Chains A and B, each alone.
Chain A
Amino acid sequence: MQDDEKDVSRRDFFKTVGVGSIATAVVAGVTDASAQGPAAVGPEEVPITLTINGQRHQLRVEPRVTLLDAMRTRLDITGQKRVCDRGACGACTVIIDGRTYYSCSMLALEAQGRNIRTVDGLATGNALHPVQQAFCDLDGLMCGFCTPGFVMATVALLEKTPNPTAEQAKRGLDGNLCRCGTNIGVLKAALAVKGVTRG
């Protein structure tokens, strides 16, 4: 059993943690809504306010629009990528209130009133975040399309577990996929960064 615990595969991980987290997010949304009484919205566009990288954005979206699509197609915040669009690959990973979410699997409506962080807001001017710098120095990227998701997953991992073991780092990044095969550099980067504090 111990071995199983340690050697959990991506798919096992996803089954237990990834889907679970999405389910949790959805349930939480439902609970909040019922507490305030059912309020049917849509199908027409509705006004919403999103707080992304510390900036408030007011926009109108149909209720069915995901957080990812709202950011990408309405606000031109295109750092996070749309790849699988169903919570399997992690390219859309954002950090909301300190933990990772697949923004393709969360409605923009649900993300209101929460602190959303994307890769676009990580650097300070031209000064890269230590995780971004490590990805560059240790070549944790190739085509770069999975990279924003991996960077955000690594930031979330290190904010929670500042000096992870290799096993902890792998588990923390198991929700992200790369097709070029940059995983060696990604893991090196996750293990090289020291002293990340909560953003």
Chain B
Amino acid sequence: MADEQVPEVQAPPRPPQHPTYPWPEKSRLLGTRISRIDGPQKVTGRAKYSYDITRPGMIYGRILRSPHAHARLTSIDASAAEKAPGVKAVLLTIKPGDKVLYPGEEIGVLAAATEQQAADALRLIRVEWEVLPPLATVEQSMRPEAPQVFTPANTRRGTAQEDGDPAAGFKAAAFTVEATYSTQVQTHTSLETHGCVCEWNGDNLTAWVSTQAVHGTRDGFAQGLKIPQANVRVITEYMGGGFGSKFGPDIQGLLCARIAKAAGAPVKMMLDRKEEHLATGNRPSAFARVKAGVAADGKLTAFEAQTWGTGGAGAGSDYPLPYIYVFPNRRRAHTDVYINSGQQRAMRAPGHPQGCFVTEVLMDELADQVRMDPMEFRLKNLPALAPNAMWAKYFPMGAERINWQGRHVTGDPTPGPIKRGLGCSANRWGGAGTGARAHCEISSDGSVVMRCGTQDIGTANRTIMAIVVAETLGLEVPQVTIELGDSNQPFAPGSGGSTTAAAVMPAMRVTAGKARDALFERIAPQLGVTAKEIQIGVGNVIAGGKTISWREACKMLGTIPVSVDGAWERGLSAGGTSGVQFAEVEVDIETGITRVKKIVCVQDCGLIVDLKTAETQCYGGIISGLNYAVFEERILDRNTANMVNPNMEWYHMAGQSDIPEIDVVLVDQPERGVIGIGEPPAVATAAAIANAIRNATGVTLRHIPITPDKLLTELERAGGTN
């Protein structure tokens, strides 16, 4: 039963693999600190993102969107827009009688010579609506008397799970906690908004798209436009963040392609910040009404939860619960609630921050019931140690670095308004990947080019690819050219679920290894040895005791380069990571302002390819967790369901002064192969901060973001400030 709770934790270890090109036992570059190879391009502004692409004759597209959350179109007239200065084409995708279900829903598109002309023309389209009552909150949607907005209903019963005997579990409990927890909707807020430049050449489309999946987006264009995949090329050389929201052309990409065709000119269409907040995805909210039991000895006995949440207009909201800890008897039923807002999309570790927050805050409340130290309490209820379940080892490591033994019990007894506290939490993630292919060329001047249709969304994929190739060929990183971000290159999967490193690094190792072998075969006769007698050195090859420089060896190739294909193979990467985080906070109980002082992160990700950029991944995940804990929230007007903060000044995110000290300990597990690290560090931060705030103030904040108003309200309810 426990293996259903956390399947990957209890999964049997993979049978030993014998890859053709195993990772080196002693590595020269892997696991060292190497700077990203595209750093100079990015810090000079020379890196051209989709947003920066200009094509000859290019014009600008802009989408017409619904201003209403729920409405029926009564009439639409674009004739004035068609005649407006600079306008080249107008397309409407809605007709009278059609309904819209969220603010920002796409209803048309136009293209004009300048952005200003496109915006002006858009305002000339006369649209009349019958405005219908919207559902702006889950509470409104779940009321029995709520208007039925969605078909077949405003809610959908989701996951129902039961394991063990909950009734017996609660009977065995010495204490129970009953409480309701919630997490907010957050939007991805990628700095480069969604969008693309589309250019037609006859029936062939080239699209520069801000995407996490060049091949998936190529296929999406082909399907959406009903043209062969072979007619579409998608290019994403640089990309300004996606966090799970950019896996296809989306509606705006298809509209851009269609309006470019209609206008007979290349069209750039990048969404503005408001459109980005409204219509390009978000993390669903989560609510959980929980009852949990613990025995007098501190062992968890039972868990029962009603959960719900909203992923917007017709999209799901499920998340894993309970998270990580072993509740032997449990029951849980989930309901998706639909409201009139933009649909959710995968967002940085989908579901996990929600499940982690609910479970980890509950764990601290249960620990207090049995008067145990929260970390000791966790250690008592963790699954058994396994390579992908190392929490029992990592908790004491993190505790030492945050000075956990100096922790006071719940509620800082220090007089005065500033209260300090510590909290902890744990995370898990998969991060396995497969399927990437690559092509490698070694030329007679010693050049090495590796081509792979993956993409670097900011994770340093390009850099770690070069590291693996350089390691395999005995070269330095700058000697390797990496070409990626083009659907004309060999297939690689989209970058989601932290799977890219685990998918692409094996393809790099195998393809570079094959290229090396092919090189040896080609030059062996000239060296008077067999290929088996040649080895890679550092910047050279060694043949029968003779050392020949890399350049000299490659020169022997003559005019025909080494040119080989390779692909991902089993045994070089894996899935299943674990980590823990600790937070130290300072709360001013007079103002309600929380300042996070320090985060300690102990995290594994299998074989570390580049320590420098892997640590940066952890910093980034933690900062996103900090935002989730205390800053960011999509706020909808409860009457109109319009977003009231679709910008970056009222949609709050941490600034430089809000960033705590962050102490990252990456645990290397070279024997497991490469595992992704993008998402795991983002999971546990919010829960650790919430628990630290509880430890500081003595009040439990069960709803994030923990803003000053919520904190002051809870302090007031608990009897004022000390």
Contact = CB atoms under 8 A, between A and B. Distances in A.
Interface of A: 7-11, 13-14, 62, 64-65, 69, 72-73, 76, 78-89, 91, 118-120, 122-123, 126, 128, 132, 135-137, 139, 141-148, 151, 169-171, 173-187
A181 B52 contact: no
Nearest to A175: B655
A144 B243 CA distance: 14
Contacts of B240: 81, 143-145
Contacts of B671: none
A166 B662 CA distance: 15
B297 interface: no
Interface stretch (B73-81, B485-493, B613-621): B613-621
Given A82-B51, A84-B647, A143-B191, A10 B656 contact: yes
Contact of B43 (A62, A141, A176, A183): A141
A85 B595 CA distance: 29
B192 interface: yes
Contacts of A137: 35
B647 A170 contact: no
Contact of B189 (A7, A144, A179): A179
Given A10-B654, A143-B191, A170-B657, A184 B619 contact: yes
Contact of A139 (B36, B655, B656): B36
Contact of B52 (A72, A88, A118, A139): A72
Given A145-B192, A179-B190, A184 B648 contact: no
B191 A181 contact: no
A114 to B, nearest CB: 20
Contacts of A119: 43-45
Contacts of A11: 649, 652, 655
Given A180-B241, A184-B662, A139 B657 contact: no
Nearest to A14: B649
Interface string B612-633: 1101100111111000000000
B282 to A, nearest CB: 14
B520 interface: no
24 contacts: A10-B657, A78-B51, A84-B649, A85-B273, A119-B43, A120-B46, A128-B43, A136-B39, A137-B35, A141-B39, A142-B241, A142-B460, A143-B457, A144-B42, A174-B656, A174-B657, A177-B653, A178-B191, A179-B241, A179-B653, A182-B616, A184-B616, A184-B623, A186-B656
A189 B44 CA distance: 15
Contacts of A187: 656, 659
Contact of B458 (A13, A88, A142, A183): A142
A185 B619 contact: yes
A84 B187 CA distance: 14
A62 B620 contact: no
Given A64-B116, A89-B191, A180-B241, A128 B40 contact: yes
Contacts of B39: 135-136, 139, 141
B29 interface: no
Interface string B660-692: 001000000000000000000000000000000
A40 B400 CA distance: 68
A156 B316 CA distance: 46
A179 B44 contact: no
A139 to B, nearest CB: 5
A168 B36 CA distance: 28
Given A128-B44, A181-B622, 6 more contacts: A78-B51, A82-B270, A83-B193, A132-B44, A171-B656, A183-B659
B43 A139 contact: no
B49 interface: yes
Interface in B45-72: 45-49, 51-52, 54
B426 interface: no
Contacts of B54: 73, 76
The majority secondary structure among interface residues of chain A is loop
A144 B190 contact: no
A171 B657 contact: yes
B45 A118 contact: yes
Interface of B: 35-36, 38-49, 51-52, 54, 114-116, 189-193, 238-241, 243, 270, 272-273, 457-460, 593, 595, 612-613, 615-616, 619-624, 647-649, 652-659, 662
Given A78-B48, A143-B192, A144-B238, A84 B648 contact: yes
Contacts of B193: 83
Contacts of B655: 9-11, 13, 173-177
A107 to B, nearest CB: 13
Contacts of A126: 40
Contact of B239 (A72, A85, A143, A185): A143
B658 A10 contact: yes
A125 to B, nearest CB: 10
Nearest to A119: B45
Nearest to B41: A144
A127 B8 CA distance: 48
B622 A143 contact: no
Nearest to B33: A139
B43 A184 contact: no
B623 to A, nearest CB: 3
A136 B649 contact: no
A86 B649 contact: yes
A78 B241 contact: no
A136 B51 contact: no
A174 B52 CA distance: 25
Contacts of B457: 143
Given A143-B192, A145-B241, A180 B458 contact: yes
B461 to A, nearest CB: 11
Contacts of B192: 81, 83, 143, 145
Nearest to A84: B648
Nearest 10 interchain pairs by C-beta: A79-B45, A10-B655, A143-B458, A181-B623, A145-B240, A181-B620, A144-B42, A136-B39, A78-B52, A142-B458
A65 B115 CA distance: 10
Contacts of B45: 78-80, 118-120, 148
A37 to B, nearest CB: 27
A183 B656 CA distance: 6
Given A85-B272, A136-B39, A181-B624, A146 B659 contact: no
Contacts of A81: 49, 51, 191-192, 240
A135 B43 contact: yes
Contacts of B613: 139
Contact of B647 (A69, A88, A169): A88
Nearest to B459: A142
A170 B621 CA distance: 20
